[in-house]
Amino acid sequence: MATCEWPTTPLYQAYHDHEWGRPIHDDRLQFEHLCLESLQCGLSWLTILNKRDIIRGCFDHFDIDTVSYGESDVERILQTEGMLKSRPKIEAIINNASAFKGIQDEFGSFCNYIWAFTDNKTIIYESHPDGHVPAKNGLSTRIYKGHSEGMVPAKNELSTRISKDLKKRGFKFVGPVTIYSHLQASGLINDHGNDCPCFSEINKLADIVQLPVDAED
């Protein structure tokens, strides 16, 4: 059975089959995915998946009420064996936890906030799935097979708009490329190839809307 071509390891395949593109309506999972995407900047997604258990342990499994850390926690995380050693990214997650809670207070949940941008629907962009394989690491910087002009969008108007709004609310490491990746991963956009079983599985479960290809900046 055909599937997206980017899962090149069993870990990648499991992530593709059971997580990537599945609509997320749980705030803890939204926070985890957003943090993982921000940590990925400049790295391969497989690196993040390989370190995922370590990252989860460092941040109390992304319990939003617990991740109110101070400097001692930053040092603890930096000294954790196998953990990524980027102080700015670690500090950004701690900062973003506070901003995330601000959104929860305002909108009732982060899910209410993020899904409102798509009118609570999973977007299928016309011509994205028609034989197009999503970027290997979910960050959409690589070439799709057959995507219009052969290129996958690294970002689009929607991800740029959400990125700007998050930054206004105090978030860091949430550029439009990172946010496009988050929208793919958390099921607000279904960018599985249309010959991939996950494409139709998600469409059966989600409230979908087909839109013209979004403008890319």
Say which of 12, 20, 45, 113 is annotated catalytic: 45
- What the block records as the tokens of 1 is 């059975």
Cα distance between residue 35 and residue 178, in whole Å? 10
- 37 annotated active-site: yes
Say which of 20, 32, 37, 144 is annotated catalytic: 37
Cα distance between residue 83 and residue 125, in whole Å? 36
Cα distance between residue 112 and residue 2, in whole Å? 34
* Residues facing residue 189 across a β-bridge: 123
Phi first, then psi, for residue 163 (nearest 5°) are: -55, -45
Q: Which helix (H) or strand (E) holds 48?
A: helix 45-50
Position 94, amino acid: I
Say which of 6, 15, 20, 113 is annotated catalytic: 15
- 15 annotated active-site: yes
Looking at the annotation, which residues are catalytic?
A: 15, 37, 45
